[in-house]
Amino acid sequence: MASDRTASAPDTSPASDAGSESRTPIPAVGSAPSALAVRPRIGLLALALGLAATLIALTGSWIPSLWGDEAASLMASTRPLPSLFTMLGHVDAVHGTYYLGLHVWIDMFGTSPFSIRLPSALAVGATVCAVVLIADRLSTPTVAVVAGVVCCVLPRVTYMGEEARSFAFSAAIAAWLTLILIELLRRQRPPLALWIAYGLLLVLGIYVFLYLALFVLVHALILARAHPPRPMVWAWLATSAGALLLAGPLFVLAFFERAQISYLSTDSEVGFTTLTVGLWFGEAWFAVVAWLLIGVALGVRMRQGWLLRHSRLSTRSRPTGGGGPPRRQADEGTDSLENPQLPSLEFVAASWLFVPTAFLVLMNLVFAGFTGRYSSYSAPAAALLMASGLVWLGRNRRWRILVGTLLIIALAVPIYWEQRGPHAKNDSDWAAVSAVVETHAMTGDAVVFDETVRPSRRPRLAMHAYPAGFVGLRDVALDIPAVDNNTWYDRAYPIETAIGLGRLEGMDRVWLINYSDPGHTDVYAVSALTALGLTATDHFRTHRSVITLYVLPSG
């Protein structure tokens, strides 16, 4: 397993996992490397694994029915821009940047589930690419490759890669932002362009996902560990402060729209199973192996740190000792200042994995604002730690490392398969609902949707997610369509009000779609339609819906 490195010295810790592998050298002082320069071989590996991650995420991504949050993405992103900006002034401002990007994407590529999930798959590929480069800079090529493979199949990564939400982008931005920070630390005099890239990416990240602002804390810890020169610390503080200032309007809007997530106060996800399994690993069997590997990585790292400190203390106690790590000699004619010490891969990944989640969980004690998916952007850190632990256990025997990697892939396959099921997204079955209605309904039929469930589960979202099945039907209870509403969903009249307004006059065929779960089926509008003399003639049950045709008897 990798250890802390100075600009001058290779890893000499007793339990090093580097073995005979060479590490990526830190550029000599004054060598002026290009920003994010990489060795060709590792660069190609990073690109190849990034492409593999995208293909893995894309495979079967069109199968699961869209669900509530994805319906919100779709309905917001298909609005005309003036309507979208009006909505963002009332709700979902924190998702506004993602909606704007998806709006442009939809204009070019359409609204199919495959299309609107494709950007997330591409973002997952970018994430894996950055993970490989981070591991190569802080550890060994073997750890880099294993980390990339693990990240490709990590359940949280494969899940967010097939979801039309911003979480995959938050992970990609977090990974590349951390990579840029490492590049800044690798350089004694970082180019201005690198600082600008760091600041702009931090601003973009916050606008894509508000809680990415917590990476200021993560990177502060990494800087504190690295002990860079004071000018670099001040430059980082100024860059981060400027980014937070530019993101200020979003913080203000998020504060005033905080009631939007008030439901989390009664639907808390802070629990042992969520925190140990649900955040990144999907199922208990995968979580056990993952935490074992993470524990090995962190345990060995702490042991190496203790041995290194003990060795330094012993050296300093000798009368002729040199004290401190050796320095890389500067190139002739350049400044003699040394590069800062880089923190270990394990320290960087542990800060990334634990700090944002711990902050959100603690914040939840004061303000209910945590759900498991908010920690999606820490999933790459789990892959880095798992890879470090696996390579250490393999002791640089390639066959052992290969067997361990294949075991992780095998454990991930059943979870991946489940994620691609037709009802994998929150038990949503809207694709099936639309298919039933398309098969059996007639042009001019009325349709009534269950309005008693929470907005993200309402069956009427099937009409927006899969509109083909509802072409030619009359939504008789519609009050204000989403495009004219100041929130993301339609506003509908209660069935009694719709009847009172004469919306069902002359309708002799009415489709009623009610929400259903294994223990209960809603009976919304049943008595009201029966009172009109309509009789239920056909029933169709899907995974979470009951679809009933009510007909006015002839004669």
- CA dihedral angle for residue 382, residue 387, residue 393, residue 397, rounded to 10 degrees: 170
Tell me if 333 is assigned to some domain. Answer: no
Token pair listed for 236: 């980082």
How sure is the predictor about 318, in pLDDT bands with cuts at 50, 70 and 90? low
What six digits make up the tokens of 442?
A: 């007639």
Same domain, 160 and 105: yes
As a whole number of angstroms, the distance between CA 333 and CA 163 comes to 54
Q: What is the mean pLDDT of residues 401-420?
A: 98
For position 340, what pLDDT does the model report?
53
Q: Are residues 474 and 400 in the same domain?
A: no
Phi and psi, residue 339, nearest 5°: -70, 150
Residue finishing a domain among 400, 419, 438: 419
CA distances for 405 relative to 291, 401, 522, angstroms? 15, 6, 47
Check whether 325 has a pLDDT greater than 90.
no
The mean per-residue pLDDT over the stretch 216-227 comes to 97
In-domain check, residue 289: yes
Could you tell me if 471 and 351 lie in one domain?
no
CA angle at 139 for the pair 137 and 343, rounded to the nearest 5°: 75
Tally the domains of the chain.
2
HSE on the CB side for 23, CA within 13 Å? 27
Does one domain contain both 413 and 489? no
Across the range 428-455, mean pLDDT stands at 97
Write the CB contacts of 260 (distance below 8 Å, at least 6 apart in sequence): 91, 92
Report whether pLDDT(468) > 90.
yes
Is residue 233 one of the residues assigned to a domain?
yes
Examine the domain organization and report whether 307 and 441 are in the same domain. no
- 50 with 169, same domain: the answer is yes
**Cα separation, 26 vs 231, whole angstroms:** 20
Q: Which band of pLDDT confidence, cut at 50, 70 and 90, is reported for residue 305?
A: confident
Residue 42 has pLDDT above 60, yes or no: yes
Q: Is residue 334 part of a domain?
A: no
As beta bridge partners, residue 446 has 474, 510
pLDDT bucket at 447, cuts 50 / 70 / 90: very high
Residue 8 has pLDDT above 60, yes or no: no
Q: Residue 317 pLDDT > 70, yes or no?
A: no
Same domain, 95 and 186: yes
Q: Collapsing DSSP states into helix, strand and coil, what is residue 478?
A: strand
The H-assigned helical ranges of 209-247 are 215-226, 230-246
DSSP 63: S
514-545 pLDDT per residue, tens: 999 998 999 999 999 999 999 999 999 999 99
Same domain, 409 and 443: no
Angle between helices 345-364 and 379-394 (to 10 degrees): 140
Report yes or no on 308 lying in a domain. yes
71 and 190 fall within a common domain: yes
Decide the pairing of beta strands 520-521 and 478-480: unpaired
Whether residue 288 is found in the same domain as residue 195: yes
The answer to whether the CB of 487 falls within 8 A of the CB of 90 is yes
pLDDT class for 321, splitting at 50, 70, 90?
A: very low
0.75 exceeded by pTM: yes
Percent of the chain past pLDDT 70, that is, above it, reads: 86
Burial class (CB in 10 A: 0-12, 13-18, 19+), 149: buried
Domain boundary among 360, 395, 419: 419
Quote the domain boundaries for residue 522.
Answer: 430-551
Phi, psi (degrees; rounded to nearest 5) at 505? -65, 130
Q: Are 295 and 399 in contact (CB under 8 A)?
A: no
Q: Which of 364, 385, 419 is the last residue of a domain?
A: 419
**DSSP H or E stretch at residue 200:** helix 192-208
Closest C-alpha among 52, 203, 204, 72 to residue 127 = 52
Look at residue 331 and tell me if it is in a domain. no
Looking at residue 316, what is its pLDDT? 62
3-state secondary structure of 548: strand
Q: Does 277 reside within a domain?
A: yes
Residues 390 and 525 placed together within one structural domain of the fold? no
**Same-domain pairing of 492 and 529:** yes
* Tokens read off for 551: 């007909």
Asked if residue 472 belongs to a domain, the reply is: yes
Position 334 scores a pLDDT of: 31
30 falls in which pLDDT band (50, 70, 90)? Answer: very low
Higher pLDDT, 41 or 261: 41
